Amino acid sequence: MDNTYTFDEQTDMLLILGFCEGNCHRSVREYHQRYPNRRTPNHQTFKNIERRLRENDMLKYLLYTHAYLLIMVII
C-alpha cells in the first residue's frame, strides 16, 4: 500500500521514477541502490504513486503552490 510510505519516501520515489524515465522496474533498483536502509517498494508502488498524482491533479496544485511561494519570497 502506498499510504504506508512517508511523504518524503513517496517524493523520492517520484523523483527516481522521473530519473528512470518512467521505467518502474528500473526505479525499484535505483531506489534500493540510493536508499539501502529503507524498505524497497515494488514496481507497482511506483505506478500507483504516479497514477494517483495524475488522477487527482496534485502535480498541478503542487507546481502552482511552489510558484506562488517562490513569488512571495522574491517580492
CA 71 – CA 40 distance, rounded (Å):
37
**CA dist 22 → 1, 37, 49, 67 (Å):** 20, 23, 12, 25
Grade residue 3 by pLDDT with cuts at 50, 70 and 90.
Answer: low
Evaluate if residue 75 carries a pLDDT over 80. Answer: no
Question: The pTM is what?
Answer: 0.70
Number of helical H runs and strand E runs in the chain: 4, 0
Q: Could you read off the pLDDT of 57-70 as tens digits, one per residue?
A: 665 555 554 455 54
pLDDT at 58: 61
CA 29 – CA 14 distance, rounded (Å):
14
Question: Greater confidence, 63 or 30?
Answer: 30
